Amino acid sequence: MRFTLFAAAVMTSAAALAAPIAYPETPRGFEVEARHGLSVPDPYRWLEADVRTDANVAKWVEAQNTVTNAYLAGLPRREEIRQRLTALYNYERFGLPRVRNGVQFFTRNSGLQNQSVLYVQAPGAEPRVLIDPNPWAKDGATALAEWQPSDDGKLLVYAVQDGGTDWRTLKLRDVATGRDLPDVIEWVKSSAIAWKKDGSGFYYSRFPEQAGPKYLGVSLNQKLYFHKLGTPQSADQLIYETPAFPKRGHFGQVTDDGRWLVIITSEGTDDRYEVHIADIAKGEKPRALVTGLDFDWSLAGSKGDTLYFRTNKDAPKGRLVAMNALTGAITPVVGEGAATLTSASVVGDKLIAETLEDAKSVVRVHTLDGKPVGTVPLPGIGTAGGFESSEDGVTYFAFSSFATPGSIWKYDARTNKAEVVRQAKVAFNPADYTVSQVFYPSKDGTRVPMFVAHRKDLDMTKPHPTLLYAYGGFNISSTPGFSVSRLVWMEMGGVFALANIRGGGEYGAAWHDGGRLLKKQNVFDDFIAAGEALVAKGITTKGQLAIQGGSNGGLLVGAVTNQRPDLFAAALPAVGVMDMLRFANWTAGRYWIDDYGDVTKPEIFRYNLAYSPYHNISGGKDYPAVLVTTADTDDRVVPGHSFKYAAALQAAKAGDKPHLIRIETRAGHGSGKPTDKIIAEAADLWAFAGYWTGLTK
């Protein structure tokens, strides 16, 4: 009887899910994007307005969520998936510690806390809570963002992030008493925090106060300031600005010895910097060390008059150089190798060089004059990160892989010894899973790597529902990392695949350059080829293949869904850049010209128009099931991108499968999202993709 009732319920649910969806009516306007002799229809431009202040957009969002929530509620196993996600998320996890004057600061989440808690631990004492952001908001959506202790460990600057916004409010806390000082700093976004060695104050970057809408305005005229403790923000000292170049941004770093203020200037998302420095003790004004926004100059550390930088000047995969802070003279230290140099730091009298070999971490150790002396012992194939510069030779790093939860390691550069100090323990057995790396040819013959992970006991002589993920942009490398939600997908019997497509930084500048500007189509070709390779290898079928990507990866999913709707059963574009003609009009969009190009140029406008997800939806074709996700407070990729795309997709009558949009409230681009919202969204995504790939049917 129980089976009969269950079967009947499933049949009823299946019938409901197969019924045509009555999408909310979305009025069409008559606006066009008129440039370069073209007039491109933009009927849903009214959806670009801020959902928090525009009543019509707010009503549209409410209507869309009503339809989407009703559909998701009928998906089989949705509640089971949510419960399993909740059980697996309930594990203790830690952030990388920072040690100042022997005092250790680190974040910890006991399991299901919406926000991680910041702890402090003095030598010989037990850890104690310094900041618990969980009571800050009833919905758990106000987060502790960036934080930085002073060098003596007595004070802490911390950033408050509300509802997922990129904007920050900086506050100060006395570490001994746990009480806040009266200092408050506003209008901060995309800023480093750098303490002066004597603890008298700190350097930070801010934008001018905006008269218009805070969540849509373009970010311009960022300036570097020094805040002296106990004074109002209005008295902060302006350190550096470029009024003739309003698109340039600046952030400050202070070397470990406290001597040098190093100012890094950029204009877009590319690693192309100018460098200015000042001798803090001498009260110097910033002076130019590197001019011209041509190459990467990332500070690794210092020793006296010598500054160490990672650069791609004359080295597309990166190298390390020493630069004399007084004369600007450059001395090569570690030359370019076969691996891609992603980060470097000075730890004691060693240079720690983080590299990628076929998207896997290898960390090399050198003397300060560049002599190789070994590699950091890592616990396996995966991703290592951290290695904060330090004067005493001791630092920390984090390590994880697809089936290896995050662990925190203490590393002594003097002995080349690494020991685990905190290990996450999740209620599953990592030995039950396997990860392999395969290579496949793209459309133009380029060899592209892809990780494939699944349960060991899965019968791989048969195809299985598969989730394919990629990013492919902005020189960002996609590497093996642990994810509870992906683990649940694999636990249910699905395969997870991560394609390291062009546009990322896995193989240095050439790999990035091969997937941007007028070569952006290579990114889509690489991703489509990844799907075809998974089918050709018998890992999955077209009817079992789901694709996922966020932000630039959301653009990726939207574009390839238009280009090859026949290849995929389900598509999950998250917080995507969907209007490639107007992306530079809002917030951080103008930075993305480095990857997407300047649409004021006719060639770029026409090229972008050819792949823009919003503009290339093909009515009359059978599209896969699509669940778009975004959030009302995303002020990086504003939700209007997803709103317009979803409206156009629903109006196109592109097949009988559902084309829905899920719009989170009081959330942003991803950072600061509370645990309960992460779980709820993942449950909806896996129930949706699982149903349409056959995993949960």
* Residues 6+ away with beta carbon under 8 Å from 376: 352, 363, 364, 365, 384, 397, 411, 416, 418
Averaged pLDDT, 139-165: 97
- The secondary structure element, H or E, covering residue 46 is none
pLDDT digit string (tens) for 225-270? 999 999 999 999 999 999 999 999 999 999 999 999 999 999 999 9
How far apart, in whole angstroms, are the C-alpha atoms of residue 693 and residue 464?
9
Closest CA to 278 of 328, 327, 325: 325
pLDDT digit string (tens) for 42-86? 999 999 999 999 999 999 999 999 999 999 999 999 999 999 999
* Residues 6+ away with beta carbon under 8 Å from 421: 396, 408, 409, 410
- The secondary structure element, H or E, covering residue 361 is strand 360-367
CB of 386 closer than 8 Å to CB of 396: yes
How far apart, in whole angstroms, are the C-alpha atoms of residue 466 and residue 482?
17
The pLDDT value recorded for residue 1 is 24
In angstroms, the first-to-last Cα distance of the chain is 20
The pLDDT value recorded for residue 253 is 98
Please say if the pLDDT value at position 691 is more than 50: yes
Please say if the pLDDT value at position 4 is more than 80: no
Averaged pLDDT, 172-186: 98
Please say if the pLDDT value at position 468 is more than 90: yes
Burial class (CB in 10 A: 0-12, 13-18, 19+), 491: middle
512 is catalytic: no
CB atoms within 10 A of CB 323: 24
pLDDT band at residue 219 under the 50/70/90 scheme: confident
| C-alpha 546, offset from chain centre | 21
234 is catalytic: no
How far apart, in whole angstroms, are the C-alpha atoms of residue 406 and residue 95?
9
How far apart, in whole angstroms, are the C-alpha atoms of residue 595 and residue 584?
12
How far apart, in whole angstroms, are the C-alpha atoms of residue 308 and residue 332?
10
How far apart, in whole angstroms, are the C-alpha atoms of residue 129 and residue 683?
31
Please say if the pLDDT value at position 9 is more than 50: no
Greatest Cα-to-Cα distance within the chain, rounded to the nearest angstrom:
85
- For the chain, count helices (H), then strands (E): 11, 39
How far apart, in whole angstroms, are the C-alpha atoms of residue 254 and residue 177?
26
pLDDT digit string (tens) for 418-435? 999 999 989 999 999 999
Closest CA to 628 of 653, 658, 651, 652: 658
- 191, 551, 612, 642: the catalytic one is 551
How far apart, in whole angstroms, are the C-alpha atoms of residue 65 and residue 67?
5
Bridge pairing between strands 394-401 and 417-423: unpaired
The model carries a pTM of 0.95
Averaged pLDDT, 475-500: 97
pLDDT band at residue 134 under the 50/70/90 scheme: very high
How far apart, in whole angstroms, are the C-alpha atoms of residue 200 and residue 220?
29
Integer-rounded Cα radius of gyration of the chain = 25
Residue type at 622 in one-letter notation: D
List, as one string, the DSSP characters of 594-633.
HHH--TTSHHHHHHHHHH-GGG---TTS-PPEEEEEEETT
Closest CA to 485 of 467, 499, 500: 467
Closest CA to 454 of 490, 487, 498, 403: 490
List, as one string, the DSSP characters of 12-33.
HHHHHHHSPP-PPP------EE
Instruction: List helix spans (H) across 315-407.
Output: none
Residue type at 162 in one-letter notation: D
Structure tokens that stand for 665 in this block = 């409230």
How far apart, in whole angstroms, are the C-alpha atoms of residue 465 and residue 243?
54
Percent of the chain with pLDDT over 90: 94
The pLDDT value recorded for residue 15 is 63
Residue 402 has what DSSP assignment? T
- Mean pLDDT estimate for the chain: 95
Distance set, CA 400 to CA 263, 311, 409, 499, 668 (Å)? 32, 27, 11, 18, 25
Percent of the chain with pLDDT over 70: 97
Structure tokens that stand for 263 in this block = 């100012």
- Strand 570-574: give its sheet, edge to edge: 433-441, 447-455, 495-499, 466-469, 545-550, 570-574, 625-631, 659-664
How far apart, in whole angstroms, are the C-alpha atoms of residue 131 and residue 118?
5
Please say if the pLDDT value at position 687 is more than 80: yes
How far apart, in whole angstroms, are the C-alpha atoms of residue 64 and residue 361?
42
